[in-house]
C-alpha cells in the first residue's frame, strides 16, 4: 500500500480552517505538509482543550503536518519561504488578497523562482473587487450568501449562525479539487498555476437550493424531525410525501369528516396529529417504528449529539474516528481520512505539531542548510522580534 501523494511537498502558510483543512487532507493522502506559522502561532492553538500543549481545534486541522516558525515580516523569513518554494510542489495561503504581494511572495514572484509551483489561495470574497479587503470568516459568508436567512425562513426562528463552518470547508474542498487538477495537468505542461478560491463562490456553487433563490421561488421544508416511540428521528421527505405513504401503506386517516369544507390549515394539522399518533401510539416502541419506516422505504436517522457519533455502526465499522498521539504520552481522538481506496492508502499519520518543532529538520531536509545557516536566520528573526 502506498499514499497517492507520496513525494509531494506542500508549504502551508494558512491559518484557522479553510487553508489548514486543505493541508490536512493533503497530508492524509501522503504529502509532506510543512505548516509555516508566525512566532505567536496560529490563533487556533488556543481553541479547545489542550493536551500535550496542542488544542483540540488545532489538533484536528493540522494533524500529520510538520511545523516551522518563521517571521514573514523579516527579510530572513521571506528568504526562507523563497528557498522552500524552490523545492515545493504546492503552497497554500488564506490571507486577504493583497497580503502575499505586500510580503513579496505573491504568485508571480514565486513562479519565477519555481515555475512548477501550484499556489492555492483561499479568501472570503476573492481578489480585485470592492469586497476583497473585508474580513471574512465562515459566519459572514453564511449570512451574505443567504444560508442564515434560509435557515430562519425554514425554522421560523430568529436568524442564527449555522452549526458548522460550511463556507470554510467547502472552499477548502474546491481548492483541493483545483490544485489536484493542476497537479495532473502539470505532468503534461511542466508548469504550475495559481488556484484562486473565494469562499463566497464555493458556498454559492454548493448550495443545492440556489436555483430556487435565483428564480425567485420559496424553498419549503423538505425534511423534518418527528417525535416517535423510538425517539426523535429525522425523516427524509417533506410531510406531504410522508402522509401519502402513511395513508396508502398503513391506511392512516386524518379523521376529518367534512374533508371537502376543511381549510388547508385544518387538513395539515389533522394529518400531522394522525402522523404523531401513528409514530408514538400505534407504533409502541422503537423496533415497531423502524419496521414501519422500512416498510414505507422512508430513510430515517437518529437525532444524536455529535459526541455520540462513535456509536453509529458505520462509524465503528469504517474506523471514522481513530486515536493518535496526543504529544503527552497518550492518545486522543480525531476524525480519520475520509478517503478509502482499494490499492492506495490515506490516513492520519501523526498528531499535530508543536510550534517550530521541525525548524531545523525541514531546513536541512528540504534545503540542505548547514547548522550555521539555520542558526543565522533564526537568530536574526528572533533578535528582530525582541527589539
Q: Are residues 63 and 175 in the same domain?
A: yes
Q: What is the mean pLDDT of residues 268-293?
A: 96
CATH number, domain with residue 349: 3.40.50.10540
Q: Are residues 37 and 145 in the same domain?
A: yes
Q: Are residues 248 and 361 in the same domain?
A: no
Q: Is the pLDDT of residue 137 over 90?
A: yes
pLDDT digits (tens, 9 = 90+) for 22-67: 999 999 999 999 999 999 999 999 999 999 999 999 999 999 999 9
Does 3 reside within a domain? no
CA distances from 151 to 157, 209, 221, 324 (A): 8, 12, 10, 36
CA distances from 213 to 124, 149, 150 (A): 21, 11, 10
Query: pLDDT class for 383, splitting at 50, 70, 90?
Result: low
Residue 220, pLDDT score: 64
pLDDT digits (tens, 9 = 90+) for 312-328: 999 999 999 999 999 89
Q: What is the mean pLDDT of residues 262-267?
A: 84
Residue 170, pLDDT score: 96
pLDDT digits (tens, 9 = 90+) for 168-225: 999 999 999 999 999 999 999 999 999 999 999 999 999 988 888 888 887 666 789 9
> What pTM, to 2 d.p., does this model score?
0.91
Does 31 reside within a domain? yes
Domain boundary, last residue among 245, 279, 306: 306
Domain boundary, last residue among 247, 279, 306: 306
Q: Cα–Cα–Cα angle for 350, 353, 354, nearest 5°?
A: 150
Does 218 reside within a domain? no
Q: Are residues 328 and 296 in the same domain?
A: no
Residue 265, pLDDT score: 86
pLDDT digits (tens, 9 = 90+) for 303-362: 999 999 999 999 999 999 999 999 899 999 999 999 999 999 999 999 999 999 999 999
Q: Is the pLDDT of residue 165 over 60?
A: yes
Domain count, the chain: 2
Residue 257, pLDDT score: 67
**Mean of all residue pLDDT scores within the chain:** 93
Does 314 reside within a domain? no
Does 313 reside within a domain? no
Q: Are residues 290 and 328 in the same domain?
A: no
Q: Are residues 188 and 280 in the same domain?
A: no
| Rounded-to-integer distance, Cα 230 and Cα 2, Å | 44
Does 296 reside within a domain? yes
Does 315 reside within a domain? no
Domain boundary, last residue among 244, 273, 306: 306
Residue 19, pLDDT score: 96
Q: Are residues 206 and 227 in the same domain?
A: no
Does 55 reside within a domain? yes
CA distances from 149 to 93, 155, 161, 164, 222 (A): 30, 10, 10, 16, 16
Could you tell me how far CA 281 lies from the centroid of its own chain? 41
Q: Are residues 197 and 70 in the same domain?
A: yes
Least confident of 3-12, 85-94, 262-271: 262-271
What range does the domain containing 137 cover? Answer: 9-210+322-386
Q: Is the pLDDT of residue 115 over 80?
A: yes
Q: Is the pLDDT of residue 106 over 60?
A: yes
Q: Are residues 159 and 189 in the same domain?
A: yes
Amino acid at each position: 500500500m502506498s499514499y497517492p501523494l507520496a513525494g509531494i511537498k506542500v508549504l502551508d502558510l494558512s491559518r484557522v480552517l479553510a487553508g489548514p483543512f486543505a493541508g490536512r487532507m493533503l497530508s492524509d493522502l501522503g504529502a509532506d505538509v510543512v505548516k509555516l506559522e508566525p512566532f505567536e502561532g496560529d490563533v487556533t492553538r488556543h481553541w479547545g482543550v489542550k493536551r500535550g500543549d496542542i488544542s483540540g481545534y488545532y489538533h484536528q486541522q493540522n494533524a500529520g503536518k510538520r511545523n516551522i516558525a518563521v517571521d514573514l515580516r523579516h527579510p530572513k523569513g521571506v528568504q526562507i519561504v523563497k528557498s522552500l518554494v524552490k523545492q515545493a510542489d504546492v503552497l497554500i495561503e488564506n490571507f486577504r488578497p493583497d497580503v502575499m504581494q505586500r510580503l513579496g511572495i505573491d504568485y508571480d514572484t514565486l513562479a519565477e523562482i519555481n515555475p512548477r509551483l501550484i499556489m492555492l489561495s483561499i479568501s472570503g470574497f476573492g481578489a480585485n473587487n470592492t469586497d476583497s479587503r473585508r474580513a471574512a470568516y465562515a459566519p459572514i459568508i453564511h449570512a451574505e450568501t443567504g444560508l442564515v436567512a434560509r435557515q430562519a425562513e425554514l425554522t421560523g426562528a430568529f436568524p442564527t449562525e449555522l452549526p458548522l463552518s460550511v463556507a470554510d470547508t467547502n472552499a477548502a474542498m474546491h481548492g483541493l479539487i483545483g490544485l489536484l487538477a493542476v497537479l495532473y495537468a502539470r505532468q503534461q505542461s511542466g508548469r504550475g498555476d495559481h488556484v484562486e478560491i473565494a469562499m463566497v463562490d464555493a458556498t454559492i456553487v454548493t448550495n443545492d437550493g440556489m436555483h430556487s433563490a435565483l428564480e425567485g421561488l420559496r424553498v419549503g421544508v423538505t425534511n423534518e424531525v418527528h417525535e416517535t416511540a423510538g425517539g426523535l428521528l429525522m425523516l427524509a421527505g417533506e410531510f406531504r410525501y410522508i402522509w401519502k405513504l402513511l395513508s396508502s401503506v398503513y391506511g392512516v386517516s386524518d379523521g376529518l369528516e367534512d374533508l371537502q369544507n376543511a381549510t388547508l390549515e385544518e387538513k395539515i394539522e389533522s394529518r400531522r396529529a394522525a402522523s404523531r399518533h401513528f409514530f408514538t401510539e400505534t407504533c409502541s416502541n422503537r423496533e415497531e417504528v423502524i419496521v414501519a419506516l422500512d416498510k414505507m422505504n422512508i430513510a430515517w436517522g437518529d437525532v444524536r449529539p455529535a459526541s455520540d457519533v462513535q456509536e453509529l455502526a458505520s462509524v465503528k465499522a469504517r474506523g471514522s474516528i481513530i486515536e493518535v498521539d496526543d504529544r503527552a504520552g497518550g492518545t486522543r481522538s480525531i476524525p480519520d481520512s475520509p478517503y478509502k481506496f482499494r490499492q492506495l492508502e490515506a490516513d492520519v499519520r501523526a498528531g499535530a505539531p508543536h510550534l517550530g518543532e521541525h525548524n531545523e529538520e525541514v531546513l536541512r531536509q528540504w534545503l540542505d542548510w548547514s547548522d550555521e545557516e539555520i542558526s543565522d536566520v533564526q537568530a536574526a528573526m528572533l533578535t528582530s522580534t525582541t527589539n
